[in-house]
Amino acid sequence: MESSKRSNVFISIGSLLLALLFSALLILLLKYSPIEAYGAMFKGAFGSKNSWAATLGTATPLIFAGLAMAISNKAGVFNIGGEGQIVVGAMAAAVAGQYGGGLPKIIHIVICLLAAGIAGGLWAGIAALLKVKMKINEVIVTIMLNYLAVYFVNYLVMNPFKAEGMTARTNYISESAVIPSIIRNTRLNYGIFLAIAVALIFLFILKRTIMGYELRSVGLNPSAAENAGIAAAKYIYIAMFLSGAVAGIGGAVEVLGVHKYYISNMTVKYGYDGIAVSVMGGNSPIGILISAVVFGALKAGASNMNRMTHIPSEFISVLQALVIIFVATPAIVRRGKDRISKGKGKREG
């Protein structure tokens, strides 16, 4: 591994450890036992076949969300709109899944995913348009679009597409649109293979193709890219559209593979979690796969932790926030490493 990659991995692991450490302190302050808490988390994530299924099943949308963030990052755009794009994509899939009941499974699923991808891509495209044409910072725009997506889709769920009965959700999708589970009655479905495939495709495109090369150049130095005949604006559109599309597909997989309908708030915080996953994974596809599993484990374990120790499961958000802070501030981890090695040196010297 090149030394810069090695140091990235070190930083990510170091950040996770630091975050766990600080969280443990917080747990102590709240008068619980960190050992019990982490133990319960571990069991909940890895203790049984069903735990693993929960972990990997939770990781699946996180992979999509993380990849979405990374794609845009490579082009120098901060797509914080994962939340909204996932919602829009999920809704599109929930609607497309209801019609076309007679189609063969593969075709129907592909249509739903396409619908979701286009919906998510266009939603992100709005931010790209504003950025290119009017130079408006995409962070605020995508965050506003997040709220708009949630409320607008809520409206759709409550009115035109509402299912019969008390709950605020859409109708069930047809059987032909369902992505089968890998282990029955768990979240784990074949969508995870799609997620891994997308990650690998992304890796290939980035490192080995002209498109990936031009995309990276735009992200690293748009002036130099322009000078070399690469249209920076074009890539902002492409990156945001793909980013939104991937997020949208992630939302679709949740609908088609897990819930089989769309219900309000079913994808809460996936977008922001995706940012954490991407940051911790160093914005690289393989890193994202790994950190998505880690976060999936944390979330899956959190509900067990809540059951066993009564620590609120929102606690995971705190952990995640700490991870983001530490990963984004490599200087902290590096300074810690320097102190440790200086200490070692003193002892040996």
Partner 1 sequence: MYAIEMKHIVKKFGSFTANDDISLCVRKGEIHSLLGENGAGKTTLMNILYGLYGADSGEILINGKEVHLKSPLDAIYYGISMVHQHFMLVDALTVAENVVLGSEPHRGIRFNYEQACKEVAELGEAYGLYIDPKEMVKNLPVGVKQRVEILKALYHKSDILILDEPTAVLTPQEVNEFFEVLKHLRAMGKTTIIITHKLKETIKIADTLTILRKGRFILSRTVKGADEKELAEQMVGRQVLFEVDRKEMPKQQNIALSLEGITYYKRKKVILNDISLDLQYGEILGIAGVEGNGQTELIEVITGLTHPDNGTVSLNGELIKEASARRILDLGIAHIPEDRGARGSVSAFTLWENYILGYHRKCNYQKRGILDVRRVRNIMKTVIDDFGIRCNSTENLMKELSGGNQQKLIIARALSQSPDVLIAAQPTRGVDIGAIEYIHEQLIRFRNQGKSIILISADLDEIMKLSDRIAVIFEGKIVADRPVSMFTIGQLGSYMLGNAAGEVANGEF
Partner 2 sequence: MDTLLNIIACSVRVATAIGFAALGGMLSERVRIINMGLEGMMLFGSFFGVVGSYFSGSAWIGLGLALVAGALVGLLHAVLTIEFKCEHILSSLGINMLASGLTLVLLEVIWKSKGSSSSVKGLGTIRLPIISQIPVIKEVIGTVSPLLILLIICVVFIYYILFRSVYGVRIRVIGDNPEVAGSLGINVYKIQYITLVCSGMLASLGGAYLSIGDINMFIKDMVSGRGYIALAMVVLGRWHPIGAVAVGLIYGMAEGMQYRLQSVTIAPQLVQCLPYLATLIVLLFARSGRGGPKAAGKHYYMKGQ
> Which residues form the interface with partner 2 (CB under 8 A)?
30, 78, 80, 130, 134-137, 139-141, 143-145, 147-148, 151-152, 154-155, 158-159, 272, 275-276, 279, 311-312, 314-322, 324-325, 328-329, 331-332, 335
For the record, the structure tokens of 343 come out as 């200490």
When CB distances are held under 5 to 8 angstroms depending on the partner's kind, the choice from partner 1, partner 2, none that residue 210 binds is partner 1
Closer to partner 2 at the Cβ: 66 or 257? 66
Closer to partner 2 at the Cβ: 138 or 214? 138
> How many alpha carbons fall within 13 Å on the CB side of residue 246?
30
Closer to partner 1 at the Cβ: 57 or 285? 285
Distance CA 125, CA 129 (A): 6
Closer to partner 2 at the Cβ: 48 or 329? 329
Distance CA 143, CA 122 (A): 15
Return the DSSP state at 179: P
Beta-bridge partner residues of 263: 169
When CB distances are held under 5 to 8 angstroms depending on the partner's kind, the choice from partner 1, partner 2, none that residue 317 binds is partner 2
Closer to partner 1 at the Cβ: 35 or 231? 231
Q: Which of 257, 293, 253 is nearest to 277 (CA)?
A: 293
Q: Which of 49, 129, 120 is nearest to 84 (CA)?
A: 120
Q: Burial, 318: exposed, middle or buried (Cβ in 10 Å; 0-12, 13-18, 19+)?
A: middle
For the record, the structure tokens of 186 come out as 């768990």
- Minimum CB separation from partner 1 for residue 25, in Å? 35
- Minimum CB separation from partner 2 for residue 223, in Å? 14
Distance CA 331, CA 104 (A): 53
- Minimum CB separation from partner 2 for residue 20, in Å? 15
Buried/exposed 219-253: b ≥16 CB within 10 Å, e otherwise: beebeebeeeebebeebbbbbbbbbbbbbbbbbbb
When CB distances are held under 5 to 8 angstroms depending on the partner's kind, the choice from partner 2, partner 1, none that residue 13 binds is none
When CB distances are held under 5 to 8 angstroms depending on the partner's kind, the choice from partner 2, partner 1, none that residue 290 binds is none
Return the DSSP state at 344: H
Closer to partner 2 at the Cβ: 13 or 321? 321
Binding site for partner 1 (CB under 8 A): 2, 208-211, 213-214, 216-217, 220-221, 223-230
For the record, the structure tokens of 319 come out as 């952990």
When CB distances are held under 5 to 8 angstroms depending on the partner's kind, the choice from partner 2, partner 1, none that residue 229 binds is partner 1
Closer to partner 2 at the Cβ: 28 or 140? 140
When CB distances are held under 5 to 8 angstroms depending on the partner's kind, the choice from partner 1, partner 2, none that residue 143 binds is partner 2
- Minimum CB separation from partner 1 for residue 191, in Å? 28
When CB distances are held under 5 to 8 angstroms depending on the partner's kind, the choice from partner 2, partner 1, none that residue 140 binds is partner 2
**Cβ partners under 8 Å of residue 1, min gap 6:** 9
> How many alpha carbons fall within 13 Å on the CB side of residue 193?
6
- Minimum CB separation from partner 2 for residue 277, in Å? 13
